[in-house]
Structure 1
Amino acid sequence: MSKKSARYATPVELYVSWMNASMLMVETASVMTMRMMGMAGTWSVTKSENDRMMSEKPTAFLDSAVAGSMAVMSGKRPDEVMNAALRPLRRKTRANARRLGKRGPAMPGSKPRR
C-alpha cells in the first residue's frame, strides 16, 4: 500500500477542483440544451445523436469510477480523487460541447447537416 500524502491541499489546488466541477456543470448544461434543441428541430444535429447520447454515458461513468478508485487506492488526497474522477467526464462533455457547438442552429428551410 502506498504512503498517503502528508500535505494538505493548497487554496489553488482546491480552486482547480472547484473549476473542474464548475466546468463540468456548464458543459453538461450546454450539451443538454443543444441536444434538446436538436430534438425540437432548432439545432443542427445528426440523426444518430440520440443513440450517441445514450451509448456514451456508461463508458464515461465507468472510466470515471475506475479513475477515482485508482486515485483512492494510490493514497491521493480528496481533491486529487475528485479531479481524477472528473477528468474522463470532462473529456466527454468538452468534446460534445465543441462538436455540437460547431453545428450551429438549424436554419428554416435548409437541409439538415450530416
Structure 2
Amino acid sequence: MWPLSMVQAWMRTASAGVAMAIDVQSVINLRILGLAGLRASPEGEGWRMIHEKQPAFMAAGIAWQNAILAGDDWSAQAEAATRPLARKARSNHRRLMRR
C-alpha cells in the first residue's frame, strides 16, 4: 500500500495537469474560431500564438532544473515544470474570453 502523502501528491499533480489541459484546450478552440473568422480575435493573435511558446517552455525547463537541483521530490518537480505553462494557458484563456 502506498503512503497517503504519496497519493495526495499524485492527486495534486494530476489535478493541476487536468486543469492546465482544460485551459489549453479552451485556448486552442478560441484561437481556431478566431482564425476562422467565427469569433472576434485580437489583432496579432496568430503571431502571438507562435511566439509565446518558446519563452513559456524555457521558463518551464528552468523551473524544472531548479527543482531538481534543489533536491525536490518528483511531485514538486512536476509542479515546478508545469506551473509556468499553466500560468500562461490560464492568462491566455482569460484574455481570449474577454473578447
Give the TM-score normalised by the residue count of structure 2: 0.91
1:82 aligns with 2:62: no
Whole-angstrom CA distance in 2 between matches of 1:43 and 1:92: 21
Contiguous gaps of at least 5 residues in structure 2: none
1:70 aligns with 2:69: no
Q: Count the aligned residue pairs.
A: 97
Q: Do residues 49 (structure 1) and 45 (structure 2) align?
A: yes
Q: Could you list the runs of 5+ residues in structure 1 that have no partner in the other structure? A: 1-6, 104-114
The answer to whether the aligner puts 1:26 opposite 2:22 as a matched pair is yes
Higher Cα Rg: structure 1 or 2? Answer: 1
Superposed structure 1 runs of 4+ greater than 3 Å apart: 7-10
**1:35-88 Cα distance to aligned partner (Å, 9 max, x none):** 000011111111210111111100000000000010011111111100000000
Q: Once the 2 structures are TM-superposed, how far is the Cα of residue 9 of structure 1 from its aligned partner? A: 4.2
Identity among equivalent pairs (%): 30
Give the structure with the larger helix fraction.
2
Q: TM-score, normalised by structure 1?
A: 0.80
